[in-house]
Structure 1
Amino acid sequence: MQNKTLIGSLRFENLVVMNNSAFGYSSLIAYCVFFTVPYIIFFNLMTSTEYSFTIVRHKGRDALFHKTTTKIGLTSFLFSFLHTSINIILTVYFFKLDILLDNSQFFYGSLINLFGVALYFMVVGFIYKIFYELKNSISLATLITYLSIGLLYFLSKLFIPPNIWTPDKDLIILPMMLVNQLSSIELLLIFVRQMGQIFALYLIASTIYLRKDFLLNDSK
């Protein structure tokens, strides 16, 4: 609704605001609050349910978890691709193409942002997987994941100084690139931090998965 008032004035400044405002399509709150649950739903729709008898009889649970990791990666990049495509298509539709080509790094920034957003959703995917293995409930794991990420966002916004790093602050690639305020080193650091989070969550999720008693969970 906020961006609706900006569409009528096709200025570069409005393009920046639409991707970096309080409720912009590529804003922090959009990723942390609005897109978290849709991604989890998308992940569950795109992946099949793992049944306990299949997992227990499998020769190696580690191989199964590697498949789960691949699914998290693929669905994250696909969801990010869809998100980015919608943003590009609607922006080209409402804005003149020469504005996008001459006055901003919109297309290049969108491509780079696609990877950053995909890594973010991989973080979300592993957090969801951890709570799912602990609670054995899709709805409960979705709720806990959503509340955890949303709470982190609001705590960061309200109580943590801007110069203190929190994971949600890495979701600023496109807005910063639009105004040429993101250096190559800063971009590299964002990707390194995101991959570090993914690796840490992977270790936690794999440990829980490999030690889980599936038959006991099914009997509950």
Structure 2
Amino acid sequence: MNQSKYIFFVIILVFLSVIWNLQNHSYIQTFDHQQGDLGTFSELLYYMNNSATGYSSIQNYALVYLLPFLFFMQQFIGKDTIVVVTRTNKREGIFLREAIAIQFIAMLFAICHSAINVVWTVVYFPVELIIESRLMSSVAWNTICLYLFYSGVGLIYASMKNLLRSSGLGLLGTLVLVGGGFFVSKMILTTYWTPLIDLNLLSNLLDGNANSVEIFWTYLKQVIILFVFYLIGSALYTRKDFL
């Protein structure tokens, strides 16, 4: 990574840290370190990471973290050039290389989000309770879910960029599509499954409401969606005009 990428990486860590502290400040203040037991701490963890308003809420994933992730991704994915195109036998190969880069960035972003969650929890709460709680394993399972979700977001951006022939418009289109999807899911399709619903995995794990079968089913749905997005993006890329 060059210097600008390192700087942006640090900015992402600082941004996530600020969000974590702002959203969990009241919980930190109310926890009694002298009398707090595992039951009280586990309940606190649930509220700190609940799917409605917590650090790991669906709203944060779809709205608050969306733009930073897209900017982060843009730092790593370069623009297509005629030289790159002529050196590759098939355009599908170029898009595949971009899709692989998106996977890496999505995983890095997911790890950053989870690491910030664990690190600041360790800073403010007893390590013994953290070890005894479901936090570490739940965050690990959730990291994979976040990786799949943001991989899909990255492929949406790649598709929108190729469709609209502009990085800026592609970014705007992705914001509208994913952000709009959140509001549609929250206000209209409240009784139906949408891809965003799977982002409540962490709160379900912390609350003990998710087993291995549900985790596998969540991953499977996200992988299928990811594959569909890849096919759409690849088809759009083959039609892209480089001239």
- TM-score norm. by structure 1 comes to 0.92
Alpha-carbon distance in structure 2 between the residues aligned to 1:67 and 1:3: 39
Alpha-carbon distance in structure 1 between the residues aligned to 2:144 and 2:51: 21
SS in 1 for 2:53: coil
- Give the root-mean-square deviation of aligned CA atoms: 1.4
CA displacement at 1:138 relative to structure 2: 1.5
Q: 1:136 aligns with which of 165, 186, 199?
A: 165
Q: 1:152 aligns with which of 169, 177, 181?
A: 181
Alpha-carbon distance in structure 2 between the residues aligned to 1:75 and 1:57: 24
SS in 2 for 1:140: helix
- The superposition leaves residues 3-23 of structure 1 with CA deviations (integer Å, 9 ceiling, x where unpaired) of 211111334222211111633
Alpha-carbon distance in structure 1 between the residues aligned to 2:171 and 2:82: 20
Q: Displaced runs of 4+ in structure 1, greater than 3 A?
A: none
SS in 2 for 1:80: helix
Alignment of 1:167-186 (within 5 A): 167-186=195-214
- The superposition leaves residues 129-169 of structure 1 with CA deviations (integer Å, 9 ceiling, x where unpaired) of 1100011212211111111111111111112234x211100
SS in 2 for 1:20: coil
2:85 is the counterpart of 1:89: no
Match of 2:74 in 1: 44
Match of 1:206 in 2: 234
Alpha-carbon distance in structure 1 between the residues aligned to 2:23 and 2:71: 26
Residue 74 of structure 2 aligns to which amino acid in structure 1?
A: N
Alpha-carbon distance in structure 1 between the residues aligned to 2:181 and 2:53: 17
Alignment of 1:78-117 (within 5 A): 78-102=108-132, 104-117=133-146
- TM-score norm. by structure 2 comes to 0.83
In 2, are the aligned partners of 1:56 and 1:214 still within 8 Å (CA)? no
In 2, are the aligned partners of 1:43 and 1:72 still within 8 Å (CA)? yes
Alpha-carbon distance in structure 1 between the residues aligned to 2:118 and 2:24: 15
Alpha-carbon distance in structure 2 between the residues aligned to 1:130 and 1:199: 13
SS in 2 for 1:22: coil
Pick closer, same or farther for the CA change 1:201–1:193 going to 2, 3 Å: same
> How many equivalent pairs are there?
213
Alpha-carbon distance in structure 2 between the residues aligned to 1:153 and 1:65: 27
Alignment of 1:115-134 (within 5 A): 115-134=144-163
* Identity across the alignment (%): 31
What stretches of structure 1 of length at least 5 have no aligned partner? 216-220
Alpha-carbon distance in structure 2 between the residues aligned to 1:52 and 1:27: 42
- The superposition leaves residues 60-114 of structure 1 with CA deviations (integer Å, 9 ceiling, x where unpaired) of 2222111111101111101111111111101111111122122x21000111111
Match of 2:222 in 1: 194
